[in-house]
Amino acid sequence: QDQLQQKIICPGPVTCLTASPNGLYILAGVAESIYLWEVSNGNLLAILNRHYQDLTCLCFTDDSSHFLSGAKDCLALVWNLYSVLQAEPSQIPDPRHVWSRHSLPITDLCCGFGGPLARAATASLDQTAKLWEVSSGELLLSVLFDVGIMAVTLDLSEYHMFCGGMDGSIFQVDLCAWPVQRDRTFQTERENGKVFKGHRNQVTCLSVSTDGSLLLSGSHDETVRLWDIQSKQCLKTMNHKGPVTNAFIVLAPANMFNPDGKPSVPLPKFSKHLHGTESNDEQGSEGVTLRLGLHQQESGESYLEKAEKMYSQMYSTREKNLVGDQEHLTIQVSELEEEVSTLRKINKNLFDFSARIITKPAK
């Protein structure tokens, strides 16, 4: 089948890319800059230049309120999306947190569940994986390995952290191990039951299934492997024709099994210039524009006016239904009252008849 494709030219080579879970925004790392686009209309909303070297990874929190960026400058930054959107175009907003505890380039980021209260994991070539608290920015755990870490992920319950090494090994770190230690060393010879062995080159990506039973890994050895987490056995190996750079497990969308399913709204072309700085000639009518509130320059009903009109129609229909139901209920009540009155008369006649028979003197 022919697939709907949209080729979008970016300002430079894209080193990392992610979309917000709510589907409203796209983040891309181009050199040392972070580009933020709005999906519905393709507007470039912000260009963030707070890293000193090329971006390596980007990820959103599950509620799309924050996003994290990692780069070769050994820094991981936490950004508040709404602060970025509200900032003036001439100003570069400050990140909420700057994590500078890594000593070599950051290779991967992973964010757990809980929105701004979530925990985030970072991996680095300095042979450590670190766990952070997004809300306070505090370092919760640092695990030292004997190889550089290229990929990191958390399971759904955040009970385990999985780290992929440069030698092809995948390490399972128990986050609920006792005693609690902020700095921990993962000794492979003592933790044989917590290492996935099979890849022959560096592991580049990791993903855990929603039920926490399967682990997916991609590697530069041109294979993707599916593991059973409990037994550490490889269930399936998928060969590729080149190094695997990204792979993840995702829930199948509902229309995936519909052969006629197509996107209802076409993806617009993404702008190369910040929103509000383009010339009038470059502002075309392509894409979808959502107008919230009253629009100053164009005539016609706004989104809120249409919503209010629709709500008033629904409310009037509801009132009519309520009035109709009330009339029907009144008729039912009157019918039931008549039936009760009839039953009372019958009951009184039966009582009088029984009383006469009982009190009738015997002959």
pLDDT 10s digits, 161-217: 999 999 999 999 999 877 888 999 998 777 767 999 999 999 999 999 999 999 999
CA dist 92 and 224 (Å) reads 40
pLDDT(291) > 60: no
Tell me if 312 sits within 8 A of 320, measured CB to CB: no
pLDDT(4) > 80: no
CA 232, 152, 104, 19 torsion: positive or negative? positive
Q: Which fold has domain 14-255?
A: Methylamine Dehydrogenase; Chain H (2.130.10)
Give the strand pairing for 223-228 and 214-219.
Answer: antiparallel
> Across residues 304-314, what is the average pLDDT?
65
CA 48, 71, 123, 38 torsion: positive or negative? positive
pLDDT(119) > 60: yes
Q: For residue range 71-98, list pLDDT tens digits in order.
A: 999 999 999 999 999 888 778 889 999 9
DSSP for residue 193: G
Q: Which tokens belong to 291?
A: 């107008």
pLDDT band at 307 (very low <50, low <70, confident <90, very high): low
What pLDDT does 207 receive?
Answer: 96
Tell me if 100 sits within 8 A of 74, measured CB to CB: yes
Q: For residue range 323-358, list pLDDT tens digits in order.
A: 666 777 788 888 888 889 999 999 999 888 888 888
Tell me if 304 sits within 8 A of 292, measured CB to CB: yes
Q: Is the pTM of this model over 0.75?
A: no
Tell me if 234 sits within 8 A of 214, measured CB to CB: no
Tell me if 217 sits within 8 A of 246, measured CB to CB: no
> Across residues 91-111, what is the average pLDDT?
94
What pLDDT does 152 receive?
Answer: 97
Q: Which tokens belong to 48?
A: 């963030």
